[in-house]
């Protein structure tokens, strides 16, 4: 639609404040018994008040029919075209645990897994071993050197870890070893371009050594690597929007994403109340806050309709205090839909509400999927949420003479 | 928005089934006496039921204000950007009659026409001569060789035929001889680029010989050529969507279009009931069906409001059986609007309904132009219908980490 250069050219600093509240996986599907989605089932007086005073709509994070991963979903919310601003899984996980990924490093996402005697995979997640066990196994593998490349192995959570390869001439252009299915052996990692031969060789040697080291650690007696990638360079939100943005997110991956676009990740506890408290404490220090609530997505992924309803109600309660602080612009949306009925991310458009003194309110009185269809924001790409927020905060100057 | 490469990367084969029902020229304009369009006038209990259970919207085949021909209208429905995936009229007609158009061939669409003594055109369609007469005339012209290029002349329907030029160094970059008006002589065919000089010369010689041969066959004593073009190479729907698609269309041109994107064109009778019967018979063999109903467009082109209403009602009746077969996704739309009041294709957006278990239904209870304005699909480009159908059939994996 329009590019970041245009946005950059009209953005100007100002003391007004924007709060972007992201309820991860917000959008849902109606439960057949009631015909109501999670958001429509939840009792949300504060969200409804914001909707009544604000303007609503439905947004597509990537495009109609496209189910976004967490990274494209959030990048779109921050105003970055999620197709051209791509980020690999390995780099994303590394950034997520605050690993200091340097230029030239190649990161892979790893799973500990279970293999039977002949090497066939029987569990791609090694029975979801504990995070402590994962950390112990990572210590065994960490720090190896293969062909002058150093390999860092760091735990993420449960069976998940990262492997970061640091050395000269490493290319991320190699295939995964993770076959994404059971009953087969891990795949040989192959170079997808001639420059990546060295990387493929090193990665395969690392895997071979790991197999020996892990042999006695059933159920985590093997590992799988995927998403080899490097840290991308994205222009910062300060460059683009002239903001001093802060992120409040209890999950590492979202902190990592926020840092990739130049936000300061504030330390926070894990509860929704913790996150809102941190926002209040730092309210004077930033002009943009991204507050991320993970629980709605997790509940959706667990097929737990009721729990997702509760998370939304909890957010609604926490909003009272924020509303009383009167930020110039409040935006509430999600990075994608996660209907409990589907048990995973989905392609359905996400409800958006924007409340500001200048929003030109519509007739919507409740924040829900069904109501947002008729909202004044219409149906639009999520990348346009930030420009809308900036405009409503009077942080944009006129375009053109 | 997003390109076919992205779609390709997330498409995966699955046993779910999609039926795309295209009511050619579906969209209409309200008759002043009733204020209702053809679709709104028709009694359509099945379409209304699908709308009530599904989600509706309005789509633009090419763009707001643009009246599409049949080819761009259908290519958009199949998910191909109709501006970059262009196909000339000659190639389209050739493919439509299943002529084996080879690389290097140049095809032109032909009309037999009537010229008076001085050569001025008095009827661009030669009084719509019978298809049999057309075939007889084509036999007289078929098989000529001009400057080592062989010219195939094959009947299409009534006054319409194709001329295919086969030989070395033929370029389609030449102008039409058809002046698209009466009272003038056919135009000299001219090269639009230097490489096309040979083609223009051959085509003009062919026209000159045809004039002599046809002289005694009034009212078909002359011919007009237009739309010189070559067979385009499009990626197949199997490549893009991993589907095994089938087309059920009684008109050759739509079979041809379907074949261009790799669909298998199933043999069918000409009635709507025949077409639905073929769908049922082949239901087990394909995961995607394009079913094309021509009658609504023909009625619209003939200014016949009542007949268009009847065709829509006939489709509605035939739908009962299809609905009872419970395809995972049913999409009903048109390739463009053909309002009987205008008597031709138009730029008006086309009603779309999509019904699936996962569609997140909206509040629309009837399938009509007016109701679709407030539908949950909103207003959107027709190229996004296929991604939506794929998503609802759970044939897309997640995009991005």
Give the model confidence (pLDDT) of A255-274 as tens digits: 989 999 999 999 999 999 99
- Residue whose token pair is 């860092």: A152
pLDDT at A368 over 70: yes
A363 CB-side CA count, 13 A: 2
Which residues from A are below 8 Å from B400, CB to CB?
62, 68-73, 82, 86-87
3-state secondary structure B223-286: EEEEEEECCCCCCCHHHHHCCCEEEEECCHHHHHHHHHCCCEECCCCCCHHHHHHHHHHCHHHC
Cβ–Cβ under 8 Å, residues B311 and B297? no
Encode pLDDT of B180-212 as tens digits.
999 999 999 999 999 999 999 999 999 999 999
Which of A28, A36, A64 should we substitute to test contact with B (largest number of B Cβ atoms within 10 Å)? A64
pLDDT of res. B1:
44
pLDDT at B391 over 50: yes
Pairing of strands A160-166, A106-115: antiparallel
Which residue from A67, A73, A92 is facing B391, i.e. has the nearest CB?
A67
Residue partners of A379: CB distance under 8 A and separation at least 6: A57, A58, A59, A60, A349, A373, B378, B379, B380
Q: What is the ipTM of this complex?
A: 0.88
Residue B54 CA to residue B45 CA, distance in Å, equals: 14
Which residues from A are below 8 Å from B389, CB to CB?
65
pTM of the model: 0.89
pLDDT at B60 over 70: yes
**Mean pLDDT, residues A346-369:** 98
Q: Which tokens belong to A78?
A: 């921050």
Q: Which tokens belong to B379?
A: 């207003």
pLDDT at B326 over 70: yes
Using a 10 angstrom Cβ sphere, with 0-12 exposed, 13-18 middle and 19 or more buried, the burial of residue A205 is middle
Which residue from A63, A70, A88 is facing B1, i.e. has the nearest CB?
A63
**Mean pLDDT, residues B126-148:** 96
Residue partners of B301: CB distance under 8 A and separation at least 6: B25, B338, B343, B344, B345
Peptide bond into B219 cis (omega under 30): yes
DSSP 8-class letter at B43: -
DSSP for A36-104, written as a single string: B-HHHHS--HHHHHHHHHSEEEEEESS-TTPPB-HHHHHHHHTT--TTTS---HHHHHHHHTT--PPTT
Tell me if chain B has a CB within 8 Å of the CB of A10: no
Nearest CA in chain B to A383: B1
pLDDT of res. A1:
44
Cβ–Cβ under 8 Å, residues A236 and A264? no
Which residue from A64, A70, A86 is facing B380, i.e. has the nearest CB?
A64
pLDDT of res. B2:
55
Nearest CA in chain A to B57: A373
pLDDT of res. B253:
86
pLDDT at A331 over 90: yes
Determine the distance from the C-alpha atom of residue B307 to the mean position of all C-alpha atoms in its chain, rounded to a whole number: 20
- Residue whose token pair is 């395969």: A204
Encode pLDDT of A204-255 as tens digits.
999 999 999 999 999 999 999 999 999 998 999 999 999 999 999 998 889 9
pLDDT of res. A297:
96
pLDDT of res. A2:
58
Residue B249 CA to residue B268 CA, distance in Å, equals: 7
Tell me if chain A has a CB within 8 Å of the CB of B5: no
217-236 in chain A: CB under 8 A from chain B: 227
B391/A71 Cβ within 8 A: no
Cβ–Cβ under 8 Å, residues B2 and A83? yes
Minimal C-alpha gap between A362 and chain B (Å)? 15
Percent of residues, chain B, with pLDDT higher than 70: 100
Minimal C-alpha gap between B296 and chain A (Å)? 28
pLDDT at B237 over 70: yes
Average pLDDT, chain A: 96
DSSP 8-class letter at B396: B
B6/A83 Cβ within 8 A: yes
């Amino acid at each position: 639609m329009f590019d970041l250069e245009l946005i950059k050219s009209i953005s100007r600093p100002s003391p007004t404040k924007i709060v972007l509240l992201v309820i991860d996986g917000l959008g849902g599907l109606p439960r057949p018994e009631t015909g109501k989605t999670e958001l429509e089932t939840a009792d949300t007086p504060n969200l409804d008040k914001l909707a009544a005073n604000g303007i609503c709509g439905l947004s597509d994070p990537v495009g109609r029919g496209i189910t976004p991963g967490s990274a494209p979903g959030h990048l779109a919310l921050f105003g970055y075209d999620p197709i051209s601003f791509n980020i690999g899984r390995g780099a994303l996980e590394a950034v997520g645990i605050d690993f200091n990924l340097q230029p030239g490093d190649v990161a892979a996402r790893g799973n500990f897994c279970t293999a039977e005697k002949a090497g066939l995979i029987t569990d791609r997640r090694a029975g979801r071993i504990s995070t402590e066990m994962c950390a112990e196994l990572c210590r065994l593998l960490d720090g190896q050197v293969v062909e002058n490349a150093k390999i860092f192995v760091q735990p993420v959570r449960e069976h998940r870890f990262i492997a970061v390869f640091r050395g000269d001439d490493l290319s991320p252009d190699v295939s995964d070893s993770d076959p994404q299915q059971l009953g087969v052996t891990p795949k040989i990692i192959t170079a997808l371009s001639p420059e990546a031969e060295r990387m493929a060789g090193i990665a395969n040697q690392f895997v071979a050594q790991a197999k020996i080291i892990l042999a006695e650690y059933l159920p985590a007696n093997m590992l799988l690597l995927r998403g080899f990638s490097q840290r991308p360079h994205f222009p910062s939100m300060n460059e683009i929007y002239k903001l001093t943005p802060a992120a409040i997110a209890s999950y590492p991956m979202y902190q990592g994403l926020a840092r990739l676009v130049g936000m300061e990740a504030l330390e926070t506890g894990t509860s929704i109340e913790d996150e809102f408290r941190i926002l209040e404490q730092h309210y004077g220090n930033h002009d943009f806050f991204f507050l991320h609530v993970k629980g709605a997505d997790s509940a959706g992924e667990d097929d737990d309709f009721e729990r997702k309803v509760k998370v939304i109600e909890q957010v609604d309660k926490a909003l009272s205090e924020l509303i009383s602080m009167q930020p110039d612009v409040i935006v509430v949306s999600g990075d994608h839909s996660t209907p409990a009925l589907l048990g995973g991310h989905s392609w359905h458009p996400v409800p958006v509400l924007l409340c500001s003194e200048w929003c030109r309110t519509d007739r919507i009185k409740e924040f829900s999927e069904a109501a947002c269809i008729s909202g004044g924001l219409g149906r639009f790409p999520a990348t346009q949420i930030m420009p809308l927020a900036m405009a409503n905060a009077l942080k944009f100057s006129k375009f053109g003479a």
